Amino acid sequence: MYALPFFVALSIGMIAFQSGAGLIGALLLGTAGGALTLVLGQVAFAVTRFSALQIAIATAFAVPAAVAGYHVVFAVSHIGVPSPAWREVFACLGAVCIGVTSWTRLMVLAKTRPFEPGGVVENPS
């Protein structure tokens, strides 16, 4: 879930540093950009009522997490797995597990709404 904000923060920080913001300025801008990405993504996901938009937002957060999970598991598997085929299998399983975990953490923010026929909500009091 945090891979997309991390990549955004890293990109903003690198651009700021290369454009002359200095080390402290790049760290501050990168941190602010990553935090803003995380907060805006979570708020947009929690507020929207359209399932297609929720799926798109969840996918935007889950895919970078799955890619990062693949690369981490693949790199760590070099330590104890001699077979390249098994390294790929473990890396793919790691990507799926981390992607599903990221997806699930975002889905927790989705609130279930009662069925409202005709869009009318009756006041129970």
Alpha carbons 100 and 86: distance in angstroms, whole number: 21
Two structure tokens written together for 107: 């889905």
Taking only the tens place, the pLDDT of each residue in 23-73 is 999 999 999 999 999 999 888 888 888 888 888 988 998 999 999 999 999
Alpha carbons 72 and 84: distance in angstroms, whole number: 15
Length of the chain: 125
Is pLDDT of 93 > 90?
Answer: yes
Q: What is the DSSP string of 64-76?
A: HHHHHHHHHHHHH
Residue with tokens 């690369």: 71
> Which pLDDT score is estimated for 96?
95
> Which pLDDT score is estimated for 125?
57
Percentage of residues of the chain with pLDDT beyond 90? 57
What is the Cα 100 distance to its own chain's centre?
11
> Which pLDDT score is estimated for 95?
94
Average pLDDT value for residue range 113-118: 56
Phi-psi region of 116 (alpha: psi -120 to 50; beta: other; left: phi over 0): beta
Is pLDDT of 114 > 80?
Answer: no
